[in-house]
Amino acid sequence: MSESRKCDGVLLVGFGGPTRAQEIRPFLDCILRGRPIPRDRYEDVVRHYEHLGGGSPYNELTLRQADALRAELSRGGIDLPVAVGMRNWAPYIEDALADLARRGARRLLAFIMAAHRSEASFERYQAAVAAAAEKLGSAAPEIVYAEPWFAHPKFIAATAARAADSLARLDSAERSHASLLFTAHSIPVAMAAASPYVEELTESARLVAAQLGFDNWTLAFQSRSGSPRDPWLEPDIGAALRKLARGAVAVVAPIGFLCDHVEVLYDLDVEAAAIARQGGIRMERAATVSDHPEFIAMMAEIVRRHALEG
């Protein structure tokens, strides 16, 4: 392929999050963009962020992933600009595109920071990138997207390694009867039916469980936020934990999340953990892949392919 078709910059596209207490309500208002939400639900989410100290580590952790990717590429002799653009908070996608354009990038490889595709986790981000590029006009770089990587061996290895760290905290008797519960964000059933979301999650979970030598695993969902009248993906992680017998051991692996934020730190570490305690269940929460070397190596491998081969 011609030199002009090779990517010369990388864009990580994320959700975004508030970094301090003063940003919580403006951040939520940005997400809602005028859509109505019950006031008690809005205030619940505010309290979740306040419980975590007034902010989310999401932005910092995504920037750390970008730094690790930049360093991994450099070790392989590839010097490309890598920027982070958030859909709902600074640094915004439009600013990241403008920065990459100023640095001479004309064709970007974009990673939407979600492994499993649905309208909510993928298409809305593509639309946000397209809108930001349209605002920039002719200065905007061309954008191509990384191919699906939900079953990439290095993503599977990173996720399995994080779960293995949790299993290592159990004694041999606990490990022998532990349940492995994978979690991902719930979405409406109708949205799921129009996407490969559940199939991709199931395949990721199956591959991780196989690498860990686990037959006893379940895919559960969490962080539902829609109308109670609409069917959303189930089982909820709380329901999955309540099904376990008193004295059971559960390792909860948030396979649908790439770094810590409110859905992991509150919905799992606070709410799900409380359900486990009430049920007499030992729960260990596996870390997200974050900047695990295998995950960063996977990203670098994909970038190299697009930067060197086009």
Domain 3-149+292-309 has CATH 3.30.470.20: no
pLDDT tens track for 276-296: 999 999 999 999 999 999 999
pLDDT tens track for 203-248: 999 999 999 999 999 999 999 987 778 899 999 999 999 999 999 9
At the top level of CATH, which class does the domain 153-285 belong to?
alpha beta
Provide the pLDDT for residue 1. 37
**Cα separation, 58 vs 239, whole angstroms:** 27
- pLDDT-above-70 percentage for the chain: 98
Same fold, 3-149+292-309 and 153-285: yes
Provide the pLDDT for residue 36. 78
**Cα separation, 187 vs 202, whole angstroms:** 15
**Cα separation, 229 vs 37, whole angstroms:** 14
Mean pLDDT of the residues in the chain: 95
CA-closest candidate to residue 119, choices 111, 108, 128: 128
Which pLDDT band holds residue 126 (cuts at 50, 70, 90)? very high
Here the tokens at position 141 are 């770089």
Domain boundaries, the chain: 3-149+292-309, 153-285
CA-closest candidate to residue 257, choices 10, 14, 11: 14
pLDDT tens track for 141-178: 999 999 999 999 999 999 999 999 999 999 999 999 99
| pTM for the full predicted model | 0.95
Provide the pLDDT for residue 4. 59
Q: Is 202 exposed, middle or buried (0-12, 13-18, 19+ CB in 10 A)?
A: middle
Which pLDDT band holds residue 310 (cuts at 50, 70, 90)? low
Q: Which residues of 180-197 are buried (b: 16+ CB within 10 A; e: fewer)?
A: bbbbbbbbbeebbeebbb
